[in-house]
Chain A
Amino acid sequence: MATPTASASLNKSVYAVGESMVLTINHSDADRQTITVSGTVTDSSGNSANWSATAKIDAGVVAFTQSGGKTWTLQSATDNQSVYTATA
């Protein structure tokens, strides 16, 4: 199992009071992949239906250990990136 990597950056280093802060967390994992399993179901008459399902392996769970006194609200998330906002 590979260890994930993560980095975080803010859109600015200095904020005015009340200004919006955007926190972007980039995270990746060599094991991360999306598996798709698919197949068909066939009845005795030869009629068939397709099915599929996807599963994400090691999507990575983002957690906060320290908020810096702010309430961070998730704005968007992909496999590799989570974006949060707060008010300075």
Chain B
Amino acid sequence: MAPTVSGTVTDSAGNTATWSASWTVGQPSGDLRWYGRTLFGQSYARYKVHTISGESGRYAAVEQDTQFNGKKGSAVVRVFGGSGGPSYAEMRPSYIRAGQPVIYSFNWPNNQAEAACKDDFRTFLRSGPTVWERVWLTHHHEPDNDWPTSLNRTWWLDTLVWMREVLDEPEFAARATQIRLCWIGTGVPFQDSTPLSSDRHWKKIIDDLTARAGGRTDIVQADGADRYNPAWDGSQRYMPWSNWAGEMINCHNYTGRPFVVGEAGSPRDDSNLSIAQKDADRAAWLDDQYQRMRDAGWFDAVSYWRVPATSDSLNAWSTNMCTPTGYNAQLSAAGKTMQNGGPDAQAVVDVHSRYCIESMSGTPAIPFYSTGLLARLKAMVRGIRRSRSTADRRHRP
């Protein structure tokens, strides 16, 4: 039920008139659907340099893109932070649409001490409004890509525990309800070929996190991956759902938690089919994965990687790549082959945009859960279920 404010106006004789007004919180411009089913959006920039001529220009180019029936916008936008610790201003630059949920990652200097991390995190939490906008918050972009070289894996696991401990402090209760602490790996932890014993396997990461937290299983509230179709390497076509999402499903079944796909997409395959047919097939693949994620009910957010190559996420755009002309110019100038957009891929763009628009309409259904007692109880129940499930699996032939 919508919240209501009401009252009376009373005259000197005691005659009374009543008044009331109601409102909804959570669906700003574009009738954004925040909760319940998957939010589809875009991941088009890494770090802070998302510019055409400035940050707002690049953001606006993507958010104002009208390729799909004149509609525009993302239900969620991914924001990559720098290496100086978390920053509210970095997470929600002023040009971001009011209330737009974000997937935000930041870095701390490797091996920074617990006290420094916690103090820094408290400062970060205090720097925003009392009640935050929705955010999937993660420390270190694709951490499994950086250990054991530039990232201490054990320390990284500990930082998640420290962040949870701070979020549990009473001062941050209101903000914590809007924050879904998570980790988002590369696709490697969720590939069939990654052995269970690998430090990069999702289950080992989650189990090690539980161990670092002294057995506590509710440190993070979502798990995530940057998951691409591996036609990336030009050697395969488009993976069926069972392969592409199989380990994500296993992860969800193991944890009971929602899932975030920080980056999704696929290059064209290397078949001998025509470009048009490859793109039609790619669009059909994307449509299939999106539909299944949406209908699964536990994918929180999916952002689509929308630039030709990594360098375009790191560097300023010299042209507006949301326009077919600009996109092609960037593509041909750099000789890139990984295409998620462009006029030849209009079918792909149309599929993605359709889901973005859909996820920005409708009625919120499921609120975020807090880190309070209810969440603890849920975590306990999940733990019991998991123990039983693990025991069941052990007894399977």
Contacts and interface: CB of A to CB of B under 8 A. Distances in A.
Interface string B13-28: 1011111111111111
Contacts of B17: 3-6, 27
Contact of B10 (A5, A31, A57, A60): A60
Interface string A45-88: 00000000000011011111111111010000000000000111
Given A17-B178, A63-B10, A72 B15 contact: no
15 contacts: A10-B22, A14-B31, A17-B129, A17-B131, A17-B134, A18-B129, A23-B5, A25-B7, A25-B19, A27-B19, A58-B13, A63-B7, A64-B6, A64-B7, A68-B22
Given A3-B15, A62-B7, A67-B5, A12 B99 contact: no
Interface in A5-22: 5-10, 12-19, 21
Interface residues on B, range: 35 or more
Given A14-B26, A88-B131, 12 more contacts: A3-B11, A3-B17, A6-B9, A12-B23, A15-B24, A16-B99, A18-B129, A19-B99, A21-B23, A23-B5, A27-B19, A31-B11
Nearest to A62: B9
Contacts of B21: 8-10, 23
Interface of A: 1-10, 12-19, 21, 23, 25, 27, 29, 31-32, 57-58, 60-70, 72, 86-88
Interface in B65-113: 98-99
Given A4-B17, A10-B23, A21-B23, A27 B9 contact: yes
